[in-house]
Structure 1
Amino acid sequence: MSKRLAGRTALVTGATSNIGRAIAEAFAAEGAHVVVSGRSAGRGKEVVDGIRARGGRADFVLADLDGSAAASRALAEESTRVLGGRIDVLVNNAGIYPGDTTAETDEKTFDKVYAVNVKAPFFLTAAVAPAMVEAGGGAIVNLGSWIARLGVPIGALYSSTKGAMETLTRAWAAEFGPRGVRVNAISPGVVLTPEPGTVHPAEAMMKGTPAGRMGTPGAIADAAVYLAGDESSFVHGIVLDVDGGRTATAVIAG
Structure 2
Amino acid sequence: MKNALITGATKGMGRAIAFAFAKQGLNLAICSRNIKDLEQIKAELQSINQQISIVTVQADASKKEQLLNFAQKAEAELGQIHVIVNNVGIYQPTSIMDDAEDTFDVLMNANLRPAYELYRYFGKKLAAAKDGHIFNICSIAAITPVIEAGTYTVTKAATLSLSNIMRLEMQQYGVKVTSVIPGSTLTSSWDGMAVDANKMVLPEDIASGVIAIYNMSAGANVNEITITPVFGQI
TM-score, scaled relative to structure 2: 0.89
The structure whose residues are more often helix, as a share, is 2
Amino acid at match of 1:224: V
Q: Does 1:217 align with 2:217?
A: no
**Unpaired segments ≥5 residues, structure 1:** 1-6, 207-211
* 1:215 to 1:116, Cα distance in 2 relative to 1, 3 A: same
Compare CA radii of gyration and give the structure with the larger one: 1
The residue correspondences of 1:177-196 to structure 2 (distance < 5 A) are: 177-192=171-186
Alpha carbons 2:6, 2:14 under 8 Å: kept: yes
SS at match of 2:148: coil
Amino acid at match of 1:227: I
Question: Which one of 242, 246, 249 corresponds to residue 227 of structure 2?
Answer: 242
Deviations 1:40-75 (A, max 9, x none): 11101111100101124222122212243x333222
1:34 CA drift (Å): 0.9
Q: Does 1:174 align with 2:168?
A: yes
Question: Which one of 10, 14, 18 corresponds to residue 12 of structure 2?
Answer: 18
Kindly tell me the number of residue pairs found equivalent between the two proteins.
Answer: 230
1:227 CA drift (Å): 2.8
What is aligned with 1:63? 59
**Unpaired segments ≥5 residues, structure 2:** none
* 1:158 to 1:200, Cα distance in 2 relative to 1, 3 A: same
Question: Which one of 16, 27, 37 corresponds to residue 33 of structure 1?
Answer: 27
* 1:126 to 1:202, Cα distance in 2 relative to 1, 3 A: farther
> Separation in 1 of the partners of 2:134 and 2:99?
31
Structure 1's consecutive aligned runs of 4 or more residues displaced over 6 angstroms after TM superposition are none
Amino acid at match of 2:137: L
What is aligned with 1:46? 40
* 1:139 to 1:20, Cα distance in 2 relative to 1, 3 A: same
Cα RMSD, aligned residues only: 2.4
1:152 CA drift (Å): 2.8
1:232 CA drift (Å): 6.8
> Separation in 1 of the partners of 2:91 and 2:37?
19
What is aligned with 1:78? 73
The residue correspondences of 1:54-203 to structure 2 (distance < 5 A) are: 54-56=48-50, 57=52, 58-68=54-64, 70-83=65-78, 85-192=79-186, 200-203=193-196
* 1:199 to 1:118, Cα distance in 2 relative to 1, 3 A: closer
TM-score, scaled relative to structure 1: 0.83
Alpha carbons 1:141, 1:228 under 8 Å: kept: no
